[in-house]
Structure 1
């Protein structure tokens, strides 16, 4: 069972509800173990509701597995009459990391933005009979089966320039909203960006995310950084164990933008060699690709995104401004 987590990990400080004393987010309700967070009464459309700390299992139907990984299993399902995605987080070899990953998934649960995958409900239980090792279940908006990784590398033809800029703009909007609310994603990469049927990019998978107020806690941040992200997109200051800032997401955004235009993997070679070269020799993906010969502003923007100094990288707000000013 997860260790007691302050309710402030789950809700913004200015949420506006009387919370009373709560030493643990876990409590018993009708025989179920659920997260102890205030829940708005169900009414109106599902899209208008605050995320719920209670999953109504009888309303969950038609489960169909659509993906799996070290975290567990993702299924498509119907919940309260709407198509959703359900993630069952399992305990991996590193039990602490698994539990932290589950709680991190809820760091942005209170946020609503068209470029963020919305959390609908979460519970520390599972409705499955084989729930041994399940840390928790999260029900999320179903944003489609396609991610940006597949779009970049599986398409028969290169993405059009305007499509690359549009997708990058969607991701930058998501980062602006996250950072404005004190959350850093810490695993921005094409595989974690879902592309809806309408072509809208939505940032997903918050298992590595962190609230900046916790990142500034010297006692908590070193342990949290052990969970890591994806090494090809991880900012050098994080590889050195330094402070977490929104600039870490901007660095990852720069690598993602490079992938959109080149359709190539960022690095080749052994993981440990790449990590050492990124930190010690300022290694970055190759910007001398033919695609950048006619895209000077894009090349310049990417270069500044992955500056070695976080304070020299543009903010998410600046990313949006510069992307909007790119020549057609």
Structure 2
């Protein structure tokens, strides 16, 4: 770009001050406001730019990530002023920072590590900034020395929030040859990033650990020339303790760095706020300038005086708060070390909060705040629609907390955010947490709206759903029945309202889990007919209920009817959603189940082979659904008497499931049992016994000795003992199983 180029008729590019994989950074002048700014110009689209739909998606994602970055208001985060597109180039306008990033500081220091007081202060400031952003549900994903700036006044700022995700979405990031690992900066990537697993705020903590290791020792923890070796180091190798490179480092600092570099997220500090607390406690209780290390900074003040960050020079602290209550600071970037009186404004009066007998009237929040929170709430909904439930949950939790603070716990907007928190929890397998959240929402809505309001009923219906997830089907049935009665008698809802039909559908599903199969079938059939009448025969909700009808028929042993129903659903989904849609593929899988149950294993085998190919093409060879299709293929090989092939398939699937899902995952145990079945049919009963015992032990450990699946596994073991001629042991095991079953009754 020419030095005099004018972006959007406003930002005049002056000097190129940085270039990287995502584009260029220019010092520029904002002609409207007469101030200097930094403008990051992202690269053009590249080989995919001719795809108009890709371009639209790219621009929408850019706008989304730019809005997220612009919403961050914290002294430790680079301020984003503006964003847009000019002549095909996407750009971000940010504050112009005067200082050096940590990579430059190391270069200035000839790669020697930084002084210990500097490391401690940088760590504390970065921890506070990350705590703020993580509270907003935002993860950086590319924390590295070049993205952390230290300004001339000592302030530390994190740069490029949202850019790492944008780069991944657009495809700007390089990839390792022969792998499917998106490369950010390999020296600072967490093991879960490398493995393509779920990434949350603890991934940023690992990356921060890598940064601290480098500024404390002069080199990153895995300082290898080959990128793949670096990634393997992060994933498999324990880092050398920093004090082996620099013995004078304080022990507390080494402990913090090693804790941050734990291989699993659960072993790291819980969050950045915990890290900040550890730093403050250790700093105030330790000498941070070891003998012989020249820091160039004044000595630590006496222990009675708090050590303040360098950016507070020239500031004065207020009176210390006298209340014992731990109040949440607002704005959320209040730094540890600065204490003052907590004051709210009510009717123009200054009212200290600590020690009041009752809280003052809640002030009306500014419209700008409400608009920002509404925008973030909608962003969370969008993440949910994309299936990014963990990220959606982080956003909704942060919005719920701020809405509760600004509007009160029973305000409709607060409860709407809490409802979405519960929804994301239920979709990520945290049913017990979801139940608590939904109960809180239902109680608040009943207080403010009434027991029969549609929003109250929606929360109670979700309570029933998560009760079902928790296996508490009788309680779920009671809640569903009460909600359905209220919906049907409501003049605004009525028996054919989509929400009423959804409740009836869920009730039918729950009836099948209670063993009331005929009732479940009849209700599902009636709901399917009603949905077809109200929504249309090809509507996704109608097809979901038709799917449930087919399932109920299978449970009743009416497999010919089930096969026909599944085929109708599969064809309707193919026409409405496409052949590669996950719902279409799910229906095809159930067609295969029905064929196998009807003894038509040759047809099932052909279907499963095609399904495995499609699943592999769409999702990869190790996706759980690909493995489920392969499992079905192996089962039908066995039914056709091709036991050597069936055993090979079962072992292959079991091995992948154990590696991907874990040894005790239910799918892994199903595959291990299939291995045992194959061994038995090949008369290798001793080997089969060993496998059956592994399955039984795992199920007892995970589910309990009296669980039906654990008891079935012990029955398998007893049968195996019989085949080996060990009748007495088999009889004793049968007796134990019978006693446990009797106890369950």
How high is the TM-score relative to the length of structure 2?
Answer: 0.32
The answer to whether the aligner puts 1:70 opposite 2:31 as a matched pair is no
TM-fit CA distance, 1:106: 4.2
Contact 1:84 1:139 in 2 (8 A): yes
Structure number with the higher helix fraction is: 2
Alignment of structure 1 residues 84-233 onto 2, 5 Å: 84-91=37-44, 93=46, 95=48, 99=58, 102-103=62-63, 104-125=65-86, 131=87, 134=89, 136-144=90-98, 146-155=100-109, 158-206=113-161, 207-209=163-165, 227-233=182-188
Cα gap change, 1:277 to 1:167, in 2 (>3 Å): closer
Structure 1, 55-64 or 66-75: larger mean CA deviation:
55-64
Structure 1, 318-327 or 257-266: larger mean CA deviation:
257-266
Q: Which residue does 2:35 correspond to in 1?
A: 82
CA distance in 1 between counterparts of 2:198 and 2:220 reads: 27
Cα gap change, 1:289 to 1:187, in 2 (>3 Å): same
CA distance in 2 between counterparts of 1:153 and 1:164 reads: 16
Matched residue pairs, number?
253
Contact 2:217 2:242 in 1 (8 A): no
TM-fit CA distance, 1:277: 3.3
The answer to whether the aligner puts 1:253 opposite 2:208 as a matched pair is yes
CA distance in 2 between counterparts of 1:285 and 1:83 reads: 44
CA distance in 1 between counterparts of 2:128 and 2:190 reads: 20
TM-fit CA distance, 1:282: 2.9
Contact 1:109 1:119 in 2 (8 A): yes
CA root-mean-square deviation: 2.8
Cα gap change, 1:269 to 1:245, in 2 (>3 Å): same
Contact 2:181 2:194 in 1 (8 A): no
Q: Which residue does 1:268 correspond to in 2?
A: 224
Q: Secondary structure at the match of 1:208?
A: helix
Structure 1, 228-237 or 179-188: larger mean CA deviation:
228-237
The answer to whether the aligner puts 1:324 opposite 2:275 as a matched pair is no
Q: Secondary structure at the match of 1:114?
A: coil
1:246-278 CA distances to partner (integer Å, 9 max, x unpaired)? 000000011111112112243123111221232
Gaps of 5+ in 1: 1-54, 126-130, 211-224
Structure 1, 64-73 or 301-310: larger mean CA deviation:
64-73
The answer to whether the aligner puts 1:284 opposite 2:239 as a matched pair is yes
Structure number with the higher strand fraction is: 1
TM-fit CA distance, 1:245: 1.0
TM-fit CA distance, 1:209: 4.2
CA distance in 1 between counterparts of 2:185 and 2:37 reads: 26
Contact 2:116 2:249 in 1 (8 A): no
CA distance in 2 between counterparts of 1:227 and 1:312 reads: 24
Contact 1:255 1:285 in 2 (8 A): no
Contact 1:153 1:263 in 2 (8 A): no
1:13-55 CA distances to partner (integer Å, 9 max, x unpaired)? xxxxxxxxxxxxxxxxxxxxxxxxxxxxxxxxxxxxxxxxxx9
CA distance in 2 between counterparts of 1:121 and 1:285 reads: 43
CA distance in 2 between counterparts of 1:294 and 1:196 reads: 24
Contact 2:37 2:93 in 1 (8 A): yes
CA distance in 1 between counterparts of 2:12 and 2:45 reads: 27
Gaps of 5+ in 2: 1-5, 49-53, 167-179, 288-745
Structure with higher RCO (Cα < 8 A, 6+ apart): 1
Contact 1:194 1:202 in 2 (8 A): yes
Contact 1:108 1:183 in 2 (8 A): no
Structure 1, 88-97 or 247-256: larger mean CA deviation:
88-97
Cα gap change, 1:322 to 1:239, in 2 (>3 Å): same
Contact 1:233 1:252 in 2 (8 A): yes
Cα gap change, 1:282 to 1:227, in 2 (>3 Å): same
CA distance in 1 between counterparts of 2:263 and 2:254 reads: 16
Contact 1:143 1:202 in 2 (8 A): no
Cα gap change, 1:208 to 1:294, in 2 (>3 Å): closer
Cα gap change, 1:285 to 1:233, in 2 (>3 Å): farther
Q: Secondary structure at the match of 2:275?
A: helix
Task: Name which of 254, 258, 262 aligns with 1:307.
Answer: 262
Alignment of structure 1 residues 9-20 onto 2, 5 Å: none
CA distance in 2 between counterparts of 1:312 and 1:265 reads: 20
Q: Which residue does 2:198 correspond to in 1?
A: 243
CA distance in 2 between counterparts of 1:276 and 1:184 reads: 23
